[in-house]
Amino acid sequence: DQQVKQNSPSLSVQEGRISILNCDYTNSMFDYFLWYKKYPAEGPTFLISISSIKDKNEDGRFTVFLNKSAKHLSLHIVPSQPGDSAVYFCAALGTGGFKTIFGAGTRLFVKA
């Protein structure tokens, strides 16, 4: 039973355009959502997070949107750069919890 789902295994975007990575979740008790970025043969690194009391969080080129009613969040990267090519994992956890549930990841290709 996947509580966090990333239904697109891959995404290809032209450099300079917007990348939109999507994530759906099933557990309404999740309070925090995070995005991690992973390069091959390396550990994931934290990118951006959002609390369930917000609907948007922005950090430079990265913006995460949360739609609680739809149990959906998305990561927007604008403008996309070739160095953004990586696997992006969506993750979720509940308040006071620390056990993070990860999605399967979406591989982003940014073409120069």
Nearest to other proteins of 79, 94 (CB atom): 94
What are the residues facing 54 on neighbouring strands?
Answer: none
Tell me the closest approach of the beta carbon of residue 79 to other proteins, in angstroms.
25
- Per CB under 8 A, which region of 17-25, 44-52, 58-66, 74-82 contacts other proteins? 44-52
Question: Judged by CB under 8 A, does residue 60 bind other proteins?
Answer: no
80 burial type by CB count under 10 A (0-12 exposed, 13-18 middle, 19+ buried): buried
- What is the distance between the terminal CA atoms of the chain, rounded to a whole angstrom? 38
Instruction: Name which of residues 62 to 101 contact other proteins (CB under 8 A).
Output: 89, 93, 95-100
